[in-house]
Structure 1
Amino acid sequence: MNLLILPSSLSFLSSILVGVYVFSKNPKKIQNISFAAALLSFAIIEFGNFMFFYSLDRGGGIFWIKISLVGIALIPPTWTFFSIVFARRDALELIVKWRTYLSVISFICLVFIISVLFSDLAVKSISIRMGDIIISIGKAGYYFNIVLLLSIILIIVNFENTFRQSKGIEKWQIKYAVVGIIIGFCFFIYSISETLLYSFMRVKLMIGGSFIILMVNLVLFFSIIRHRLLDVNVFISRQIIYRSISILAVGTYLLFTGTVIELTRFFGEDIKLFLRPVAIFIAMAFFGALVLSERTRRKIQIFVNKNFFANKYDYRYVWTEFTEKISYDLNLSEMLPKMLEVISNTMWVLRISIWLLDEEREQFYVVSTLNLPEKINNEINKGNSLLRYLKEKEDILDLSAIGEKEKFIYEENKYLFDLMKAKLIVPLIAKNTLIGFLTLGQEITGERFTEEDFELLRTFGNQAASIILNTKLSEKLIASQQMESLSKISSFIIHDLKNLVSTLSLIVQNSKTHFENPEFQKDVLWTISDTVGKMNNLIIKLSSSPKDLEYKFENVNIKNIIEETFEELKLEKNPKLKLTKIYGDEKKEYSIKGDLKALKKVFLNIFLNSLQSFPKGEGEIKVFLEKKEGEYSVEISDNGCGISKDFLEKYIFKPFKTTKKDGLGIGLYQCKTIINAHKGSLDVKSVEGFGTKFIINLPF
């Protein structure tokens, strides 16, 4: 058996099996589809390699090399697409943003595939040189390798950015997969760089590539099974992209590779050529692991800050990030996780929690955590020694350096501190009141916190306490406004119910003289049924939110609304009332855009006010409707008791102000509100003892 086929056969099978497994788990998810497509490119490469080694003694080797090149040509579009959507919360938005690049690179790869399959521009010949099988490439192959190199660099940058932006458990879930993928593509960069230097590909390097792809597949499968790799969601910030180190690392590597290859020209030994890719791969694996290690990066940052800068932190950047992320959130549930994230990123602490005071229960409880158990039901009573210490000292408690006086605090709260993995307790004090505290775990490098760390945390604590207090006050204000809105709506509804009761009262009064009349009896039944329906509607409205009580504008006829109100109140059948109606044009439709029910309330309120203004229940109501320039004008006048000049000037449209003994002072306020919503106007003229005139103007 030809042992050369073993690595490529194993790589081919692993690519197919892992790809099919992931696709079958969720064939509709974009991440699963793109992952399977990416592994398909590896499968085609390894299938071509397998058949090439199998046919070495049988001829036809160039054809299978071309098949392998087809798989390589699929790497830029498939792996770029996967690197875009991998673990991203905004995957669909990113696809739209990258569509132009994906289209261009796909077209270039398609052209190269055509040149590979139907010409000799990509592969020229196969020969034996320096004890190795050499595959010479043509101009198309050379230029495509340049495109491939740039594409792979971009793919590495995308994966690096995803990894660097991930936090806590998300980073742990994707760490091995990202490291494996980046290391695998580093080998591709090495292989491409050699191909560009010598214009040929070495078969021994292809064997090494098969081993690398096999290892990458195993790492990916491990991450999928153990860490639910494709169920992670990360959002990439612009700052992370700006700080990407992949391009610098690849540039350094290419310089290093060129130097190594030039040096190897002096040593023509076959064994060194074979071992060189393995040695470089191990070095790049070490370099990649070092670069992606949070602890290493933090130590480097500390070293740079200590030796090259006066301050450990860039306070302007830290403060800008803190205020931008937090200041504009009015909701505590949205703001607190952002606050913890900023503090965690700044202080390099993975585990952090925030506790706030429940004023009603007089206890402190955990409201938000980062990389800690989601459900923590512990509560701390106001008499706890920890709270007494924070109130008295108004300073940070360092649990790693507590003295004899503070030991009892640790002993009393040991379970809580262990649960929170706490090393520091930072008080949140606003207006001389302890409103909460932060718990911070160990710094990621294991270094002890310095006085500069404490100073920054004190500032964080003071600012956070102020923001939290203001946010709580804002939430209370919003709740108060909602209650005020509900009270206002309730007042309107109660007044409407009072009007309906007045309607029923009129029926009772008229029934004393007209009850024997069959037609009157029919009217009574209809009116009672209609009134009950309206009362039910008001009850429904009372249980609805203010949003459910918005106006519904449609084409309505003002004249018809007035007539329907007459009918509802039985004004034309009231023997004690003289009703005069004057319409500018009897045949004209006085049509506007308005809310039918709301406008009817306006006329109902005004007519009831007129009826209630008659001292002995007898009087006259005049209604005059006419068209003016751009609006309809309705004048409703009566000869009732009128309104005093003082009340007219000061209180006429104010809520809860009334001249009636049993009134609520809501009717005219409600009328004014409705007319304003229709962009109209409502005015009142009155002389006490002689009557009142209401003037309504509604635009059409």
Structure 2
Amino acid sequence: MARGRALTVATLGALSQLLSALAFAGFGGVALWLLSRPRARMAALMPSPRWLIVAAIASAIWCAALYRFAPGSSEAMVARSLRDLAMLGWLGATFWPARAPMPGPPRLILRLLVTICTIALAGGIAAHVQSATAGVWLSPALGVSGMIVAIGGLLIIDGAARRASAGLRMPVMAVAGGFAMLWAYELNVQLIGALTGKPASTLIHLIPAVALMIVPTFVLAAMDIGRERIRLSRSVATRTLVLLGAAAYLILIGLAGAVARLVGGDYGELAQGVFLIVALGAGGLLLLSARTRAWLAVMISKHFFEHRYDYRAEWMRFTATLAQGAKEDGSEDDRNLHRRVAKALAELTGSPGALLLLPDAQGAFRVAEQWHWPAGLEEGATLPLRSSFMLQESRHIVDLDAERRGAAPDGEGLAIPGWLLADTRAWVVVPVLHFQRMIAVAVLHRPPVSRPLDWEDLDVLRIAGQQAASYLAESQSLEALSEAKRFDEFNRRFAFIMHDIKNLASQLSLLARNAERHADKPEFRADMIGTLKISAGRLSDLLVRLSPRERRAVEAGRALVEPLLRDVAAEMRPRRALFVGCQAGLAAWGDAASIRQIVQHLAANAIDASPAGTPVQVVAVAQQGRARIDVIDQGAGMTRAFIRDELFKPFVSTKDGGFGLGAFEALGLAQAMGGSIEVASEPGKGSDFTLWLPLADTREDAGTGEPIGKVA
């Protein structure tokens, strides 16, 4: 066993020498590199570049002493005093420059530490020069002075961290952190040796490893990087605090055991058992008590962070909740925007629930939605018109606790209703404003650990309320747009019907005028009866189309073209005879009523555009695998620009009193059946409207003899 222990000590000694050599090379190289850099550039990077060079040189000398002598030797401790003196000088010059002198207590501590380091350095050198056996009494004295300097140095670094401003770069803070790590490690080694009565040789031999770890911080401090202030995220900082707490717990257990062994008696196991019980009790309290967790979160946020809120994380969660809040069971998204708004505002401040009040027809705000608000809300809970008006005008976030105490200066003007003040669960009233208009009011439930509102709460709630208002306003705009679209659809349908009614009225007027002259003719009376039947049928169809229900869907199937053309010719006969020609057995694939309506529109327009006595032809053939129906007139014709830019636009017409909807509706019906309309026309030469439709025989040959669907 003794041989193995000797081997371990020898191995540790060799490893310590290797690490010391590496650390010496590192600090020496850094010092030479810093000396070679331009002074102007170094001065722009940090307030005290010379002291950083001095600290690097002193650290290199200390590492040389660690290599030449043992890390726990008196010679190494003397070199450590030189290193501590340089480190203290760098801290003072960096964090308390001449333009911002150090306050009284830190200045006193720094002077005391400098004095101790100077005495230790001078006394150690003198003792070694005068006596070769000075290490017998010098090592304990240097050990005590080292502990004092380490404790004081940590206090100086804590004050420096508090003093640090946004102008100091993060690598400079990293150098200070490296110094703190080195002092904390050495202090831990000294404390363990003092408590156990013997030096911790393993930890002492690893001191060069810690020195080697802080070499990169010197390099970073002198490089052109990291000018901006760098912060850890709140989650990482919280996890670090948890780890530090666990480490402190383990250290306390070790110290308790060491003290128990020094006192004597079997108290070590008792102390460890007590610590274990306390730890389990604290853990169970945190796990089971929401109030305790909330209190701990408040304390950590208050004492460890500059701001109460982690704005980046909170804003991302707030926006995600508003945009797509998941249901509590995780099954699907919550489509209720009002509940999501209440939830987002509540989670922002740690409130367990919230109410959302929306305006009614009279302008008062009523409870429209709630998120986790306990039962017992008063029936008819409203915010009166006067209260809502004052809240909108003032844009004031109301602290209801202050209102209940009468401490709010503008409480009387806001006229907070009695039911809200009587319900002690209500904590804050947040107006949700959109461009100075209040579109909702949120009432937040009191958090588990109640606290007064400060400026940060008010700013966050005000901005969050505006963000939530934009979502609510967008939702209201979408609802209004949907309603406007329904009205537009009704108006569009009514415009088409008015167009058809105009055509029917013209046809009936012509029939009435002709009846005055030809009523005694049997042929005319027969045509008149047929025309009246067709007109009555079309009026019935118009009434159906005017129904507020969704526009009917029509069946797409095999439609014989010739009977449709004969019906159109019979309908148009009172106005003008149509010359109809159709290929025998021609069948199109589409809705028969829609095809008839298209041909009616095109024929009526052709008749209107043609002079009296000129023919209008309707010809249907199969061509290029499609059904082709041409409506040809010899009227005034149209220009290419008119055909391209205006012909198929609604409410554009060349006829007096025309609606300009015939060609537009015809094109829409044709496209709905998979067809199209082409126009060939020239001014003075008439027009040819060609309706192209799928050929029914082709569809049947493809195996689609039955109707394949519906055309809207």
TM-score where L is the length of structure 2: 0.50
Structure 2 residue aligned with 1:539: 543
Write the distance in 1 (CA, Å) between the matches of 2:587 and 2:670: 16
Write the distance in 1 (CA, Å) between the matches of 2:673 and 2:281: 72
Asked if residue 464 in structure 1 is aligned to residue 465 in structure 2, the reply is: no
After TM superposition, give the deviation of residue 291 of structure 1 in Å. 4.4
Structure 2 residue aligned with 1:408: 412
Equivalent pair of 1:332/1:471 in contact (CA under 8 Å): no
After TM superposition, give the deviation of residue 664 of structure 1 in Å. 1.3
Write the distance in 1 (CA, Å) between the matches of 2:514 and 2:681: 29
Write the distance in 2 (CA, Å) between the matches of 1:332 and 1:670: 41
Asked if residue 435 in structure 1 is aligned to residue 444 in structure 2, the reply is: no
Write the distance in 2 (CA, Å) between the matches of 1:346 and 1:467: 17
Structure 2 residue aligned with 1:591: 588
Structure 2 residue aligned with 1:324: 320
Structure 1 residue aligned with 2:557: 554
Write the distance in 1 (CA, Å) between the matches of 2:597 and 2:340: 48
Equivalent pair of 2:519/2:525 in contact (CA under 8 Å): yes
| Residues 605-629 of structure 1: per-residue CA shift (max 9 Å, x gap) | 111122223443x220112222222
Equivalent pair of 1:420/1:439 in contact (CA under 8 Å): no
Equivalent pair of 2:637/2:685 in contact (CA under 8 Å): yes
| Residues 18-40 of structure 1: per-residue CA shift (max 9 Å, x gap) | xxxxxxxxxxxxxxxxxxxxxxx
Q: Percent identity?
A: 24
Write the distance in 1 (CA, Å) between the matches of 2:412 and 2:396: 17
After TM superposition, give the deviation of residue 552 of structure 1 in Å. 3.7
Equivalent pair of 1:682/1:696 in contact (CA under 8 Å): yes
Equivalent pair of 1:656/1:665 in contact (CA under 8 Å): yes
**Structure 1 vs Structure 2 CA RMSD:** 3.8
Match of 1:632 among 627, 631, 648: 627
SS state of the match for residue 320, structure 2? helix
Structure 1 residue aligned with 2:567: 564
Q: Judging changes above 3 Å, is the alpha-carbon distance between structure 1 residues 286 and 503 closer, same or farther for their aligned structure 2 residues?
A: farther
SS state of the match for residue 430, structure 2? strand
Match of 1:502 among 500, 506, 510: 506
Give the letter aligned to residue 563 of structure 2: N
Give the letter aligned to residue 556 of structure 2: F
After TM superposition, give the deviation of residue 668 of structure 1 in Å. 1.1
After TM superposition, give the deviation of residue 666 of structure 1 in Å. 1.2
Structure 2 residue aligned with 1:653: 648
| Residues 159-185 of structure 1: per-residue CA shift (max 9 Å, x gap) | xxxxxxxxxxxxxxxxxxxxxxxxxxx
Q: Judging changes above 3 Å, is the alpha-carbon distance between structure 1 residues 690 and 375 closer, same or farther for their aligned structure 2 residues?
A: farther
Structure 2 residue aligned with 1:61: none
SS state of the match for residue 632, structure 2? strand
Write the distance in 1 (CA, Å) between the matches of 2:536 and 2:318: 58
Write the distance in 1 (CA, Å) between the matches of 2:605 and 2:323: 51
After TM superposition, give the deviation of residue 637 of structure 1 in Å. 0.7
SS state of the match for residue 653, structure 1? coil
Q: Judging changes above 3 Å, is the alpha-carbon distance between structure 1 residues 399 and 412 closer, same or farther for their aligned structure 2 residues?
A: closer
Equivalent pair of 2:490/2:548 in contact (CA under 8 Å): no
Q: Judging changes above 3 Å, is the alpha-carbon distance between structure 1 residues 480 and 389 closer, same or farther for their aligned structure 2 residues?
A: closer
Q: What pairs with 1:385-404 in structure 2 (closer than 5 Å)?
A: 387-388=389-390, 391-392=393-394, 394-402=395-403, 403=407
Equivalent pair of 2:392/2:433 in contact (CA under 8 Å): no
After TM superposition, give the deviation of residue 553 of structure 1 in Å. 2.5
Structure 1 residue aligned with 2:370: 369
SS state of the match for residue 349, structure 1? coil
Structure 2 residue aligned with 1:342: 344
After TM superposition, give the deviation of residue 335 of structure 1 in Å. 0.7
Write the distance in 2 (CA, Å) between the matches of 1:563 and 1:292: 86
Q: What pairs with 1:74-153 in structure 2 (closer than 5 Å)?
A: none
Q: Judging changes above 3 Å, is the alpha-carbon distance between structure 1 residues 324 and 562 closer, same or farther for their aligned structure 2 residues?
A: farther
Asked if residue 475 in structure 1 is aligned to residue 479 in structure 2, the reply is: yes
After TM superposition, give the deviation of residue 414 of structure 1 in Å. 2.6
Write the distance in 1 (CA, Å) between the matches of 2:411 and 2:378: 28
SS state of the match for residue 553, structure 1? strand
Equivalent pair of 1:681/1:698 in contact (CA under 8 Å): yes
Q: What pairs with 1:572-583 in structure 2 (closer than 5 Å)?
A: 577=576, 579-583=578-582
After TM superposition, give the deviation of residue 390 of structure 1 in Å. 5.0
SS state of the match for residue 619, structure 1? coil
Q: Judging changes above 3 Å, is the alpha-carbon distance between structure 1 residues 405 and 452 closer, same or farther for their aligned structure 2 residues?
A: closer
Equivalent pair of 1:635/1:695 in contact (CA under 8 Å): yes
Write the distance in 2 (CA, Å) between the matches of 1:555 and 1:285: 83
| Residues 292-325 of structure 1: per-residue CA shift (max 9 Å, x gap) | 5543443454456557766655544443333233
Structure 2 residue aligned with 1:102: none
After TM superposition, give the deviation of residue 463 of structure 1 in Å. 0.7
Q: Judging changes above 3 Å, is the alpha-carbon distance between structure 1 residues 533 and 586 closer, same or farther for their aligned structure 2 residues?
A: closer
After TM superposition, give the deviation of residue 680 of structure 1 in Å. 2.3
Runs of 5+ consecutive residues of structure 1 not aligned to the other structure: 1-283
Write the distance in 1 (CA, Å) between the matches of 2:633 and 2:494: 29
SS state of the match for residue 615, structure 2? strand
Q: Judging changes above 3 Å, is the alpha-carbon distance between structure 1 residues 451 and 665 closer, same or farther for their aligned structure 2 residues?
A: same
Give the letter aligned to residue 653 of structure 1: F
Equivalent pair of 1:626/1:632 in contact (CA under 8 Å): yes
| Residues 37-77 of structure 1: per-residue CA shift (max 9 Å, x gap) | xxxxxxxxxxxxxxxxxxxxxxxxxxxxxxxxxxxxxxxxx
Equivalent pair of 1:578/1:619 in contact (CA under 8 Å): no
Write the distance in 1 (CA, Å) between the matches of 2:600 and 2:294: 74
Q: Judging changes above 3 Å, is the alpha-carbon distance between structure 1 residues 379 and 540 closer, same or farther for their aligned structure 2 residues?
A: farther
SS state of the match for residue 410, structure 2? helix
Equivalent pair of 1:580/1:621 in contact (CA under 8 Å): yes
Q: Judging changes above 3 Å, is the alpha-carbon distance between structure 1 residues 596 and 417 closer, same or farther for their aligned structure 2 residues?
A: farther
Structure 1 residue aligned with 2:162: none
Q: What pairs with 1:197-208 in structure 2 (closer than 5 Å)?
A: none
Q: Judging changes above 3 Å, is the alpha-carbon distance between structure 1 residues 319 and 310 closer, same or farther for their aligned structure 2 residues?
A: same
Equivalent pair of 1:684/1:693 in contact (CA under 8 Å): yes
Q: Judging changes above 3 Å, is the alpha-carbon distance between structure 1 residues 524 and 292 closer, same or farther for their aligned structure 2 residues?
A: farther
Structure 2 residue aligned with 1:295: 291
| Residues 537-560 of structure 1: per-residue CA shift (max 9 Å, x gap) | 322322324x33444423323333
Asked if residue 600 in structure 1 is aligned to residue 596 in structure 2, the reply is: yes
| Residues 86-141 of structure 1: per-residue CA shift (max 9 Å, x gap) | xxxxxxxxxxxxxxxxxxxxxxxxxxxxxxxxxxxxxxxxxxxxxxxxxxxxxxxx
Asked if residue 425 in structure 1 is aligned to residue 429 in structure 2, the reply is: yes
Q: Judging changes above 3 Å, is the alpha-carbon distance between structure 1 residues 531 and 478 closer, same or farther for their aligned structure 2 residues?
A: same
Write the distance in 2 (CA, Å) between the matches of 1:404 and 1:377: 23
Write the distance in 1 (CA, Å) between the matches of 2:317 and 2:474: 19
Write the distance in 1 (CA, Å) between the matches of 2:311 and 2:380: 33
Give the letter aligned to residue 342 of structure 1: A
Give the letter aligned to residue 320 of structure 2: E
Equivalent pair of 1:351/1:421 in contact (CA under 8 Å): no
Give the letter aligned to residue 677 of structure 2: L
Equivalent pair of 2:353/2:444 in contact (CA under 8 Å): yes
Structure 2 residue aligned with 1:664: 659
Write the distance in 1 (CA, Å) between the matches of 2:485 and 2:424: 38
After TM superposition, give the deviation of residue 577 of structure 1 in Å. 4.3
Q: Judging changes above 3 Å, is the alpha-carbon distance between structure 1 residues 533 and 622 closer, same or farther for their aligned structure 2 residues?
A: closer
TM-score where L is the length of structure 1: 0.51
SS state of the match for residue 440, structure 2? strand
Equivalent pair of 1:657/1:665 in contact (CA under 8 Å): yes
Equivalent pair of 2:383/2:417 in contact (CA under 8 Å): no
Write the distance in 2 (CA, Å) between the matches of 1:477 and 1:328: 22
Give the letter aligned to residue 458 of structure 1: R
SS state of the match for residue 423, structure 1? strand
Q: Judging changes above 3 Å, is the alpha-carbon distance between structure 1 residues 609 and 558 closer, same or farther for their aligned structure 2 residues?
A: same
Write the distance in 2 (CA, Å) between the matches of 1:322 and 1:536: 56
Structure 1 residue aligned with 2:692: 697
